[in-house]
A = this chain, B = another copy of it.
Amino acid sequence: MIINQMGDISNLESEGSDTVPNRIQDDVRALYLFRDIAEVTFQSLMRASYDQSLPQQVTLIREGAPADFLHIVVEGMVELFATSSGREVTMAVVRPVSTFILAASIRDAPYLMSARTLQRSRILLIPSADLRAAVASDSQFAMNAMQELAGCYRSMVRHTKNLKLRNTRERIAAYLLRQSRLLGGAAGFSLPVEKRLLASYMGMTPENLSRALKSLAADGCKIDGQRVIITDRARFESLAELSPMLDGPDPVAEQAGVSLPPPIAELQI
């Protein structure tokens, strides 16, 4: 295990796969990537993998480093971000149970994003070499990886289109309406991540996000802290102008570590 090269990881608990609990194996098995693959393939991956618990605010991947592991978030929350000359932007936030940086592992190429824990997290690390061997030997696994990567690509295309075709206010409105739709059209929900991450993901400053959110009250959407309430759906929808080509539904975005988590539903009282 070469984790300690990374410097700022301490207190880690790495263990052979025989210690990956069944509960976790079941969760991982349910991921699209592993669906219907041969049991022997899956077991060999589990056996080769490392299960580590990390505190909050630990950098587990630095962009540019060789992609030695496919990562799977089992507990907690991980931010994927990118940096350049001092600036930093959020590229995705990953919640359980999801893989991330599949593409780098498959291509045996350097990571294009960095990753840090936003909470105490439990991460399963599958060595990329084992992953590639498994993909080469199990054609169902190869098909799954192919489908997943095609989906990742399409999610990123959507994200790029959003950035280029909509301005700040439009991006926010569309995002909020998509969140509502993910909950079956719920009028109220809570934002899944801090606003600073949301702002960075959507390509704007926290200040502008704050102002824009406030201004949306006049268009049928009220925000109070983390809570969002769509007060005038018709009005808000006409503002947001959702379109299937920009706004999905996107079946892959959930599990593949390419966007933000789904919203948090209201408690039914």
- Chain A, interface SS category: helix
Among B84, B91, B109, B135, the residue within 8 A (CB) of A246 is B84
Q: Are B160 and A156 in contact (CB under 8 A)?
A: yes
Q: How far is the CB of A41 from chain B (nearest CB, A)?
A: 14
Q: How far is the CB of A243 from chain B (nearest CB, A)?
A: 6
**Chain B residues within 8 Å of A152, by CB:** 149, 153
Q: Are A91 and B149 in contact (CB under 8 A)?
A: no
A150, CB-defined interface residue at 8 Å: yes
Q: Which of A140-148, A181-189, A221-229 is found at the contact surface with chain B? A: A140-148
Q: Are A165 and B84 in contact (CB under 8 A)?
A: yes
Q: Are A104 and B160 in contact (CB under 8 A)?
A: no
Most B CB contacts (10 A, CB to CB) among A113, A153, A154 go to A153
CA distance A128 to B242 in the complex (A): 28
**Chain B residues within 8 Å of A254, by CB:** none
A5, CB-defined interface residue at 8 Å: no
Q: Are A63 and B112 in contact (CB under 8 A)?
A: no
Q: Point out residues on A near B: beta carbons under 8 Å.
A: 63-64, 82-85, 87, 89, 91, 102-104, 106-107, 109-110, 112-113, 135-136, 139, 142-143, 145-147, 149-154, 156-161, 163-166, 203, 241, 243-246
